[in-house]
């Protein structure tokens, strides 16, 4: 056995096979005591450290002394003995395992003391057992041949990098053992540890064998079963070596669980459930319907098994902060990510608490009274009066940190100036910016080509009145400069942002909520000869009533002061509609919620040996955890989304209705979505098979570059593993995976005819490209611009509190006297605005440990041992680097008015890379925030 001290290297490193033996002595291999001093250096762990080891044969261990005389000899490859002991022992081959474990970066004193005890337990061989499993079958057991050993040797004094440590184990394996394909790890300690990888040295060929883990190893007291870690070799089910077949099956069975009982924090069990944990049935105002089922269809989420609510057997009891919602153990945030998210939460608390307390102390939640109030959020921060500071310091919920902040400085955190007003403070007022954001903003996925006129609703006219829009042909033609509506439609010059049918069924309920007033909007745009998109008419609709059977109002920009201000109010209502649909449908539903079943099915049905599992693994990171946090604090009854967006308590019901009427897997592919919306036409001569109707459509133009790169990478990957005829249709794990996604994960859509078939490698490539695009490019495009665009409240109000005053309304005179006050008092209050700004700021933040598209986490560099695949991935990475250059060039092209010009922010949301923080760019591999 041998112990290994941690190398002086950063955490983001991994053990490399390119290690060189600096000095070795030996005393033969006749079974007597061997004394060996090993100092290993090279590229492993940054190449700057050394490995000091005490190696023994049998149970006799002698720790080497640094002063022991050594003979120098260089050996490339695996750890082997010098010539005096180079031949194999009579009873087998001596091999060594290096076990790399990550420790916490910030440890409490008690945890440091526990580490020392762990070192001691490991030193005497009672902490970690590892068992090598061969790919070859033992004829006596009919399962893989195996040999077992224990980690031994305690570590010397910790290095500068306490969070990475190495241990070792020594094996004597029979000469006919064959190639090791798995390692069983048993944790005898009382608590879990995080295993980065195991590297085996000494088998034929001298090449180290990597068993990438990147997983939590549970304590045996929590679960007596050993963890199975497979070698970084991909096998289709039919190609699985005989010695690994049982382990492959057992590992999948353990991940699926039995569907019973409450899940414990150490579990890594993936199963499905409905969204029945959003409300609190015991509090009537917080009771929420179950999402998932015939009445309110929805994708499934990860099952926690918590007991039902006492008030409603159909609803699951809730877990409130700071207690975590269960997700399988390896899905939880790692320490760096946790720290980033905590910092965001703290920022949110500081931004929310002070306005909340101020509102409590003043007995009202005040609106913005002038634009200077909004500017102060960026210029001054939120300033409390002296008497309010005294009251706040007494407030029972204010902890020591808040009291320290208040005592050190009056001014708390300031918001960063959002990108949308950083270059041009008044851009948001202009029609061209309102239209530009439909193509290059945070929600560029709702605009459609207007294909028919008149504009008709598909809603039941018996309930919602006449289907015809109030936007007339005559009104539109006034804005077309002599062109007819028919000609404009034929030439693909008219576009529409249509939220009418989605929102009108909810309008009566939404407007019954205190402090909320909304319309269902339609906005028509004209694409001018200059290439600019111009809004020409806005229709705002309310449900019909006996006094107003067609309750629809149409607004245009007009040419006088009154119509200008009413036009601004109409645009604000459109932006509020857009904000709600963006957050609840395009962002939450279409990326977060719909991705969750793919992740659950991948773990349940695809072994970690499966090549498709290895392909998808980077695109699943953190998603279940962020979704669980959302159910706890964002989309829950009374949560931030309900408090801050127009639909209020009906937010998730709206999301469910959109899933039922709009969501289709086959339309989540970017080219298919663009064609469906009429924003592109099919063209086989183009790289993605589509040609954009508006060339200067930054989201689509950049998105198609990223889509094309993902598609090419996926197709080459699939071709590599599925070169044989019928290899896709006969892959039992793959077929079970796709079947489960359709029939369990998206159970309420299981009978839809549009689900793609999975019979050929082309089918598989299309399905995987769509999934990876949704997790990476699509989520990036509609998430990381939330604060850059929404951080300035007037640009994207998330709710409106007043209807537009009509001439016979009591408020109309006040509007005429002070239209600015009417506009500002229609926006979210200061508390509502600061709350949503804090959330948008957090959701727009990249963590320091973010993994971007085309990049591999340095700790995951041994994800595969297939050099052909690594070459293909390098090509994919190089293509993304080229895409970044292309996008940067486009942003400097003065002909592209939607991404360049005086005060116009460049379109960077689909630039592949980013640094940490709110950058407005970067495509993470996965939905991680």
**Residues that are catalytic:** 587, 592, 779, 783, 929
| Residues 831, 358: Cα–Cα separation, whole Å | 9
Q: In terms of DSSP bridges, do strands 552-555 and 272-273 run parallel, antiparallel, or are they unpaired? A: unpaired
Distance CA(540)–CA(550), nearest Å, equals 11
CA distance 630 to 254: 27
| Bridge partners for 21 per DSSP | 40, 75
Two tokens, residue 537: 């008419």
Question: Strands 690-692, 272-273: parallel, antiparallel or unpaired by DSSP?
Answer: unpaired
> What is the rounded distance in angstroms from the CA atom of residue 677 to the CA atom of residue 703?
15
Kindly state the DSSP code that residue 741 receives in the 8-state scheme: I
Report CA Rg, the chain. Answer: 31
CA distance linking residue 56 with residue 63, whole number of Å: 9
- Three state DSSP letters for 429-479: HCHHHHHHHHHHCCCCCCCEECCCCCCECCCCHHHHCCCECCCCHHHHHCC
Token digits for 715?
């197709």
∠ at Cα 644 (641, 649), nearest 5°? 60
CA–CA dist 224, 532 (Å, integer) = 66
Please give the Cα distance from 382 to 380 (Å, whole number).
Answer: 7
Backbone angle region of 572, left / alpha / beta, with phi > 0 → left and psi within -120 to 50 → alpha: alpha
Return d(Cα 381, Cα 394) in angstroms, integer: 22
Residues 6+ apart with CB under 8 A from 157: none
Residues 6+ apart with CB under 8 A from 773: 668, 669, 670, 706, 707, 710
d(CA 880, CA 885) in angstroms, rounded, equals 9
Whole-number Å distance between alpha carbons of 625 and 927: 10
User: Which residues lie across from 273 on neighbouring strands?
Assistant: 301
One-letter-per-residue 3-state SS of 33-51: CCCCCCEEEECHHHHCCCE
Strands annotated E in 748-869 = 845-846
The label of the residue with tokens 């000494």 reads: 202
């Amino acid at each position: 056995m041998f112990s290994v001290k941690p190398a002086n290297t950063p955490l983001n490193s991994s053990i490399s096979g390119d290690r060189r033996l600096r000095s070795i002595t030996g005393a033969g291999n006749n079974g007597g005591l061997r004394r060996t001093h090993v100092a290993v250096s090279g590229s492993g762990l940054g190449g700057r450290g050394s490995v000091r080891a005490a190696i023994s044969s049998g149970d006799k261990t002698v720790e080497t002394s640094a002063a022991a005389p050594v003979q120098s000899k260089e050996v490339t490859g695996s750890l082997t003995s010098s010539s005096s002991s180079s031949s194999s022992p009579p009873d087998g081959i001596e091999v060594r395992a290096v076990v790399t474990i990550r420790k916490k970066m910030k440890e409490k004193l008690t945890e440091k003391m526990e580490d020392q005890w762990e070192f001691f337990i490991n030193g005497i061989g009672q902490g970690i057992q590892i068992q090598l499993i061969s790919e070859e079958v033992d004829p006596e057991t009919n399962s893989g041949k195996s040999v077992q050993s224990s980690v031994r040797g305690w570590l010397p004094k910790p290095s500068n990098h306490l969070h990475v440590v190495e241990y070792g184990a020594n094996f004597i394996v029979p000469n006919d053992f064959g190639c090791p394909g798995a390692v069983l790890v048993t944790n005898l300690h009382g608590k879990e540890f995080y295993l980065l990888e195991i590297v085996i040295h000494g088998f034929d060929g001298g090449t180290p064998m990597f068993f990438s883990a990147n997983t939590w190893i549970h304590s045996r007291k929590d679960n007596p079963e050993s963890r199975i870690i497979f070698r970084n070799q991909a096998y289709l089910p039919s190609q699985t070596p005989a010695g690994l077949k049982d382990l492959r099956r057992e590992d999948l069975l353990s991940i699926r669980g039995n569907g019973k009982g409450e899940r414990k924090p150490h579990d890594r069990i993936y199963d499905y459930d409905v969204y029945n944990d959003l409300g609190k049935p015991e509090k009537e105002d917080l009771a929420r319907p179950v999402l998932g089922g015939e009445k309110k269809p929805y994708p499934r989420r990860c099952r926690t098994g918590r007991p039902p609510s006492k008030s409603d057997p159909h609803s699951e009891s809730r877990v409130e902060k700071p207690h975590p919602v269960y997700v399988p153990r390896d899905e939880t945030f790692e320490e760096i990510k946790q720290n980033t998210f905590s910092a965001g939460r703290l920022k949110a608390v500081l931004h929310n608490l002070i306005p909340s307390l101020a509102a409590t102390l003043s007995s009202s939640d005040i609106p913005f009274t002038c634009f200077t109030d909004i500017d102060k959020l960026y210029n001054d921060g939120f300033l409390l009066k002296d008497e309010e500071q005294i009251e706040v310091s007494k407030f029972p919920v204010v902890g020591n940190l808040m009291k320290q902040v208040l005592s050190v400085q009056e001014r708390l955190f300031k918001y960063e100036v959002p990108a949308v007003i950083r270059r041009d403070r008044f851009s948001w007022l202009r029609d061209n910016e309102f239209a530009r954001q439909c193509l290059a903003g945070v929600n560029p996925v709702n605009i459609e080509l207007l294909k028919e006129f008149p504009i008709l609703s598909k809603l039941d006219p018996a309930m919602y009145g006449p289907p015809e829009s109030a936007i007339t042909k005559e009104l539109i033609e006034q804005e077309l400069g002599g062109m007819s509506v028919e000609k404009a439609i034929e030439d693909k010059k008219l576009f529409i942002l249509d939220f009418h049918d989605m929102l009108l069924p909810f309008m009566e309920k939404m407007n019954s909520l205190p402090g909320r007033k909304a319309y269902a909007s339609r906005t028509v745009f004209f694409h001018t000869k200059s290439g600019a998109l111009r809004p020409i008419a806005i229709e705002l609709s309310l449900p019909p009533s006996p006094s107003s059977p067609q309750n629809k109002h149409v607004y245009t920009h007009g040419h006088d002061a009154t119509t200008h201000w009413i036009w601004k109010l109409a645009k604000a209502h459109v932006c509020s509609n857009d904000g709600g649909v963006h957050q609840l449908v395009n962002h939450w539903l279409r990326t977060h919620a719909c991705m969750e079943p793919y992740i659950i099915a991948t773990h349940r049905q695809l072994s970690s040996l499966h090549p498709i599992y290895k392909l998808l693994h980077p695109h699943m990171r953190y998603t279940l955890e962020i979704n669980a946090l959302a159910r706890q604090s964002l989309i829950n009854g009374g949560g931030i989304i309900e408090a801050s967006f127009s639909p209020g308590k009906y937010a998730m019901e709206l999301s469910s209705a959109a899933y039922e009427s709009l969501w289709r897997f086959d339309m989540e592919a970017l080219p298919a979505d663009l064609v469906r919306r009429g924003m592109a036409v099919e063209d086989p001569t183009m790289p993605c098979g589509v040609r954009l109707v508006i060339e200067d459509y930054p989201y689509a133009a950049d998105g198609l570059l990223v889509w094309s790169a993902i598609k090419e990478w996926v197709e080459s990957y699939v071709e590599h593993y599925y070169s044989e005829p019928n290899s896709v249709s006969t892959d039992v794990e793959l077929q079970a995976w796709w079947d489960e996604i359709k029939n369990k994960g998206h159970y309420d859509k299981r009978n839809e005819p549009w689900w793609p078939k999975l019979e050929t490698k082309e089918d598989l490539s299309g399905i995987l490209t769509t999934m990876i695009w949704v997790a990476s490019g699509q989520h990036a495009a509609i998430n990381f611009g939330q604060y850059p665009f929404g951080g300035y409240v007037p640009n994207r109000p998330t709710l409106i509190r007043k209807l537009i005053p009509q001439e016979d309304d009591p408020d109309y005179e006040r509007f005429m006297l002070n239209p600015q006050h009417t506009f500002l008092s229609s926006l979210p209050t200061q508390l509502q605005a600061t709350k949503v700004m804090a959330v948008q700021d957090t959701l727009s933040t990249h963590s320091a440990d973010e993994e971007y598209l085309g990049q591999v986490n340095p700790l995951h560099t041994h994800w595969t041992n297939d050099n052909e695949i690594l070459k293909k991935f390098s090509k994919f990475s190089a293509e993304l680097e080229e895409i970044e250059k292309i996008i940067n060039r486009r942003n400097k092209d003065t002909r592209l008015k939607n991404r360049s010009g005086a005060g116009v922010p460049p379109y960077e949301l689909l630039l592949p890379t980013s640094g940490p923080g709110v950058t407005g760019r970067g495509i993470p591999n996965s939905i991680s925030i």
